[in-house]
Amino acid sequence: MATVDFNRIWKRYGDVEAVKDVSLNCPQGEMLALLGPSGCGKSSILKMVAGVEEISEGEITFDAKPVSHLPPGARNIAMVFEDYALYPHMTAAENIAFPLKVRGVPRREAAKRIDGLIDMLSLDDVRDQRVSGLSGGAQQRISIGRALVRDPELVLFDEPLSHLDGDQKVQLRSEIKRLQQTANLTSILVTHDQSEAIAMADRVAVMNNGVLQQVGSPHDLYETPANLFVANFIGEPPMNLYEVTVHQTGNRIILRHDGLAIDFAADVLGRFVSGLGSDAATIGIRPEDVRVSAGHGQTYATDGDAAATIPARVDYIEPRGDSDVLTLKTDSGAIVVAEVDGPSEYVIGSPTEISVSVGKVHFFSTETGNALGRRGGDA
Ligand SMILES: Nc1ncnc2c1ncn2[C@@H]1O[C@H](COP(=O)(O)OP(=O)(O)OP(=O)(O)O)[C@@H](O)[C@H]1O
């Protein structure tokens, strides 16, 4: 399998700039996800790698060798599509064998490869069945077998789970991940579904409007989003975001939003964030980082670094089994979404006290949307 590099690639369709100056690297054996909303340019990137769309500018290399001039057939790329694209009248084994037959691979060698994949993909039970009667999950496993049988340099997964229902989706995504790791496949996954990207990919490239926003491990994207787009896009329920004004009085820094005041010790805040000099910023707090306690007038025990507690009432509860997502309304009318262990004892109207550790607050420039420097303090 190859190491794939995208070097400052652009895709223009007439006046439409679909991909703008994107550089990415997918090392051998890694799964890289291209994630973003519809129209962000991820399919255009996939098509340029596959060779079905020309690159307007820039270069794609496999093991440092340019491939842009090669026709699709000469790139040795396998594709797994959302709609499986199998031959319905053929059996599972015949579908997997098809690319080898076309290439005239000797029968004995072909049989060995097919058997290996059938075993690896747990397809023994359906081996000789026509694919038209099989479940979506089984059909997608067959299409993966067909993709891998010819030993490609790169596997492209184009929304491979979109046609599957909940259970099959979860099962197949872990199977693809296992297969990708055991077979050490260099692979690129295109998806608009963050849970898919996070569950399967080693690294995720988040795109918006043709521009690469951030590339990193799922953990990096979650913990240190580079800008407001990534902060808002990654995480479910999404991060709470507030435009705040910054007021410094003595050794306190108070962030104000719509009558909501969050108060921090200036020296503690300074341990976590740099560049908060201006008088406006946007802060982000993940719902699971909002600390909620039943509010009966008592103060939630803070560790000194935490903002003062803020009274809020439960406005809405979404039970999710092992957690409850609470929509809380402060006295000033600000909405804070919190995720707490479930099932909780809160009911609509419950008084609560909320607080957040300073180390859990994300800071962004309101002007540029970029994250302000995090110092990586401990709280
Ligand atoms: N053949 C084309 N001609 C003109 N514009 C195109 C063409 N293909 C894509 N575009 C435009 O380029 C932009 C990026 O499209 P692209 O399909 O790459 O995005 P995407 O993130 O994959 O979206 P989706 O998930 O909806 O396919 C969009 O504005 C789209 O309308």
- Structural domain boundaries enclosing 338: 240-372
- Determine the atom of ligand 1 nearest the C-alpha atom of 47: 18
- Cβ atoms of 186 and 4 within 8 Å: the answer is yes
Structure confidence at residue 296 (pLDDT): 56
pLDDT over 80 at 324, yes or no? yes
Structure confidence at residue 251 (pLDDT): 84
Task: Give the mean pLDDT of 30-47.
Answer: 96
- Determine the atom of ligand 1 nearest the C-alpha atom of 40: 21
Q: Tell me: the pLDDT tens digits for 140-153?
A: 899 999 998 988 99
Q: Please report the DSSP string for 312-331 in residue order.
A: EEEEEEEE-SSEEEEEEEET
- Could you report the predicted ipTM of this complex, rounded to two decimals? 0.97
Q: Tell me: the pLDDT tens digits for 86-142?
A: 999 999 999 999 999 888 889 999 999 999 999 988 899 999 999 998 988 899 899
- Of residues 282 and 270, which shows the higher confidence score? 282
Task: Check whether residue 336 and residue 307 sit in a common domain.
Answer: yes
Lowest mean pLDDT segment, chosen from 67-71, 200-204, 256-260, 285-289: 256-260
Token duo for residue 78: 């396998």
User: Which residues line ligand 1 at a C-beta cut-off of 6 Å?
Assistant: 13, 16, 18, 36, 38-44, 192
pLDDT over 60 at 301, yes or no? no
The answer to whether residue 346 sits within a structural domain is yes
Task: Check whether residue 213 and residue 251 sit in a common domain.
Answer: no
Structurally, the chain folds into a number of domains equal to 2
What's the CATH code of the domain at 178?
Answer: 3.40.50.300
Structure confidence at residue 299 (pLDDT): 41
Task: Check whether residue 32 and residue 164 sit in a common domain.
Answer: yes
Task: Give the mean pLDDT of 207-222.
Answer: 97
**Ligand 1 centre and the CA of 40: distance in Å?**
7
- Determine the atom of ligand 1 nearest the C-alpha atom of 53: 1
The answer to whether residue 233 sits within a structural domain is no
Between strands 77-80 and 65-66, the pairing is unpaired
Q: With CA atoms as reference, report the closest residue to 336 among 312, 357, 371.
A: 312
Q: Tell me: the pLDDT tens digits for 229-261?
A: 999 999 999 999 999 998 888 888 888 888 788
- Determine the atom of ligand 1 nearest the C-alpha atom of 11: 12
**Ligand 1 centre and the CA of 207: distance in Å?**
13
pLDDT over 90 at 27, yes or no? yes
What is the DSSP-derived secondary structure letter of residue 289?
G
d(CA 280, CA 364): 10
Structure confidence at residue 31 (pLDDT): 96
Which of 73-77, 160-164, 273-277 is modeled with the greatest confidence?
A: 73-77
Structure confidence at residue 278 (pLDDT): 63
Task: Check whether residue 161 and residue 52 sit in a common domain.
Answer: yes
The answer to whether residue 100 sits within a structural domain is yes
**Ligand 1 centre and the CA of 82: distance in Å?**
17
Which of 16, 20, 54, 81 for a ligand 1 pocket mutation test, highest count of atoms within 8 Å of Cβ? Answer: 16
Q: Strand 57-62's sheet: what is its strand order?
A: 16-26, 4-13, 57-62, 65-66
d(CA 221, CA 200): 14
The answer to whether residue 378 sits within a structural domain is no
Rounded to the nearest integer, the mean pLDDT of the chain is: 89
Closest residue by CA, ligand 1 atom 20 = 39
Query: In percent, how much of the chain has pLDDT > 90?
Result: 61
Token duo for residue 219: 């953990």
Closest residue by CA, ligand 1 atom 7 = 13
- Of residues 213 and 183, which shows the higher confidence score? 213
Q: Please report the DSSP string for 78-116 in residue order.
A: EEE-TT----TTSBHHHHHHHHHHHHT--HHHHHHHHHH
